[in-house]
Amino acid sequence: MGKIIDGKAVSKEIYADIKTRVSSYKNKYGRVPGLATLLVGDNPASRSYVRSKIKRSEEAGFTSYHRDMDNSSTREQITGQIKEWNNDNSIDGILVQLPLPEHLRKDTASIMDTIDPAKDVDGFHPENAGLLARGTPRFIPCTPRGIIELLKHEKISTEGKHAVIIGRSQIVGLPLSLLLLMKSEYGNATVTVCHSRTRDISSLTQQADIVITALGKPRFLTAEMIKQGAVVIDVGINRVDDPAAKKGYRIVGDVDTEAVLEKASAVTPVPGGVGPMTIAMLLLNTLNSFEIKQK
Ligand SMILES: NC(=O)c1ccc[n+]([C@@H]2O[C@H](COP(=O)([O-])OP(=O)(O)OC[C@H]3O[C@@H](n4cnc5c(N)ncnc54)[C@H](OP(=O)(O)O)[C@@H]3O)[C@@H](O)[C@H]2O)c1
């Protein structure tokens, strides 16, 4: 039976460390990190994510700035707000919650690109993506950074290991592949990236020492698809109907966790694995942005 990696417990340790550092900076520099969040529209899941981010940042002692903009907001109104925050020295991190409303989807990249790269704590700006690809990252996207921090915490070495990632998105799969390839202690892996056009994914995952699922398909990875003793990191967040649950649904990952645990050496659960690490990394990136400015 494999170990369940408790991402919630690890994130709590990180929050405690951030809080201590913030309170010492308050005396030393006379200010604390500032995180600005922008929510456009009324997507309930986005509202709930933003609420958690604000709550966590305030608990850590940050100053938080928030603006709610309605569904019909224009590209210019949104970039106007971002530019105002770019010029505000008390703000170290800017987060625009995605996805944007339907009529703005095509403008997502150009809106995100107006964020000052020195405040782009989500790490999506082309300048930060380029720095990561070059092997000299500034802000690492939060979910991939959270995964590396979990591996570090669990002392799961990646050096020389075969890591198979399922998913090649800009926010998870692709940056994670770059991190695992980096010439660093928790890099130096041999990386295979799979996507919807990959043939015979099982034949690849069966060779993997570490499998990372980031595709958004409930229980996609089964026990038959992994080798004995593999480490499995489940990034997926999927709603499945469950009449017995209070809300009529429950959240599952991309892994058939119970069956996979019988064969794997360690598995991250959903919920309580990678998810809690993502917000912790947002705070850590904002703290790092603040620290860079003090130097
Ligand atoms: N825990 C967290 O904090 C966190 C953070 C971010 C995302 N997530 C979750 O992680 C999952 C992935 O998120 P994302 O934003 O990366 O999603 P995304 O942008 O939709 O990307 C999904 C990726 O999976 C690939 N894919 C889809 N179906 C596949 C299949 N049947 N076989 C192989 N590959 C397949 C897609 O291939 P193509 O490129 O060919 O389309 C794509 O590369 C979602 O469930 C999301 O909710 C969790």
Boundaries of every domain in the chain: 30-118, 142-275
Cα separation of 163 and 190, whole Å? 6
Ligand 1 geometric centre to CA of 195 (Å):
9
193 within ligand 1 shell (Cβ under 6 A): no
Cα separation of 104 and 81, whole Å? 15
Contact 187, 181 (CB under 8 A): yes
Q: Of the residues 81, 92, 97, 120, which is catalytic?
A: 97
Cα separation of 182 and 163, whole Å? 13
What is the pLDDT at residue 105? Answer: 96
Residue 97 falls in the annotated catalytic set: yes
Selection from 213, 209, 174 nearest residue 190 by Cα: 209
Q: Residue 94: what residue type?
A: I
Instruction: Give the position, in ligand 1's atom list, of the atom nearest the Cα of 277.
Output: 3
pTM of the model: 0.97
Residue 88 falls in the annotated catalytic set: no
The CATH class for the domain spanning 142-275 reads alpha beta
Cα separation of 125 and 175, whole Å? 12
| Residue-wise pLDDT tens digits, 242-288 | 999 999 999 999 999 999 999 999 999 999 999 999 999 999 999 99
Other residues' Cβ atoms within 10 Å of the Cβ of residue 29: 13
Cα separation of 145 and 148, whole Å? 5
Residue 101: asked if its preceding bond is cis (omega within 30°), the reply is no
∠ CA 123-166-231, rounded to 5°:
95
Ligand 1 geometric centre to CA of 192 (Å):
15
Query: Is there a common fold for 30-118 and 142-275?
Result: yes
Cα separation of 20 and 76, whole Å? 39
What is the pLDDT at residue 295? Answer: 83
Instruction: Give the position, in ligand 1's atom list, of the atom nearest the Cα of 172.
Output: 16
Contact 257, 235 (CB under 8 A): no
Q: Which residues contact 288 (CB under 8 A, 6 or more apart)?
A: 139
- What kind of architecture, by CATH, is found in domain 30-118? 3-Layer(aba) Sandwich (3.40)
Other residues' Cβ atoms within 10 Å of the Cβ of residue 135: 13
Residues of the chain whose pLDDT is less than 70?
A: none
Instruction: Give the position, in ligand 1's atom list, of the atom nearest the Cα of 216.
Output: 45
